[in-house]
Structure 1
Amino acid sequence: MAQIPVNEIMIKTVLKQFVPPRIRQSMRRGWLVQQHRNGACECNVCGNSVEAFHSHGIPPRPSIRCPICGSKPCHRLIWAWLSENVSVIRPNHMVLHIAPQRELGNRIAEVVRWRGATFHSGAINDPQDPLDITQLPFADQSVDLLIACHVFNMLPADDPAFAEVHRVLRPGGLAITSVPIHCDVTALIELPGETTCQERLATFGDPFMFRKYTQQAFYQQAHRFGFEFALIQPQHLEHGDYRWELAEESLHLLRKSP
């Protein structure tokens, strides 16, 4: 294992002791941007060039994670589609972002406010903004746009989430959702909620995942709860860029019938 030079250890110790976390994060980000400038790839979420996207997952998949902002193909595809369809956000709309990836959440929040709409976000494990997609603290038919990236597959049961999203959406409202679609399975694979992290890790390669969807399985679940369904893939984008490394990601647009 390579040893870190003593002077680097001292610098990190001094920075951690005397420099506030927010400033340290900004310094680290600036260093990363400089390290990756003029790279062959581009992250459309943070807007930076990178030499390559990092491997991610178990087993590791190549060209997935942005080394600067941490975005993954699902986040980059959501931002690409939303950038081309910003008109889905209108003045006085209410936009809800469940478990946002930090950089994508910040970008969406900026656009929502620029469009004159209201923005809410949070996650079930966020102590400052707790938000459970199975028990949303919003009135019936009060949300115009809901965004949930890789959330449904992480729930012990997804029925309550589909029902709750349908409840809070206005007629004609839209949910932009994304779940990993696995080409190695021909039918939905689902583990019960009482399974252990070790069992889920052995089955899915992820201790927090409860199910593997196929496209058909997700469509059928959405249809069962009364949603109109549309599939969006990278080739459907008007200005898709191969440098974004969107892999085989797809979006599932769920619209509540008017």
Structure 2
Amino acid sequence: MTARRVKRAFKYRFCPTDVQAAEPSRTFGCVRKVYNLALEARTDAWRSRREHVGHKATAAMLTVWKKTEEPAFLNEVSSVPLQQALTLSTGEKVTNPRHERRDRKRLARAQRELSRKAEGDGSNRAKARRRVACIHARIADRRRDGLHKLTTRLVRESQTIVIEDLTVRNMLKNGHLARAISDAAWSEFQSMLKYKATWYGREVIMVDRWFPSSKPCSVCGDVARTLPLDVRIWTCGCGTTHDRDVNAAKNLLAAGPAVSACGAGVRPQRGSSRSGLSALKQEALQREP
């Protein structure tokens, strides 16, 4: 047998001098300034022109801000953390652990054994029922443990989290996806995220379920005419190739500040039959309170 290679991590306490501590403090202040400037620019663009302002546009704004008189102090720190401060999705995907699938055969076997036990077969039926219950409990414990770890990490690493207000109950009516959706426990994930955000002083923004997060290009704002569920990668007319989920995450994150600022949902503008506009060509508009 080959020995397993174990990776070790080391933690060191950093005790800077007053002179050394001034540099990260200055950097943190500049990062906050850039974050707030970018948030203001994106919110204003969305509210006034219904325009998505992406990373490329805000990066260009950062160059202009550095050249102006008031925020010229941004040149005194590294440009890397300032670029990282520019409010987009990291592109990280969290796969469905599918806890139920791991014990599906064992659960099916235990349920068949239980079904074969007669109602009057006291002790044997009780044992079979406990075996089924134990498997269900093991699945639920693994699922809950995974959700706690994920939501805690997201809340600790993020100041603002934007999620879609999905109707899980209706989604469960899809026979092809119901089992996977149930196993992912989206409702429980949402609930954990909200109360942990309250604990840590974070903000969770709920975007209206009708917001077309997948179809708009997060770079140019053009809306795809059709985008079937089985299409996971698509190319916009501007030449940008999108991962469906990552593009949707970027659009949600761009719409989040408008929802937070106005206290309203975000819904698509549907084409009117009188105007002759196609309902497929939708623009995300802020719903009036």
TM-score if structure 1 supplies the norm length? 0.25
Q: Which has the higher strand share?
A: 1
Larger radius of gyration between Structure 1 and Structure 2: 2
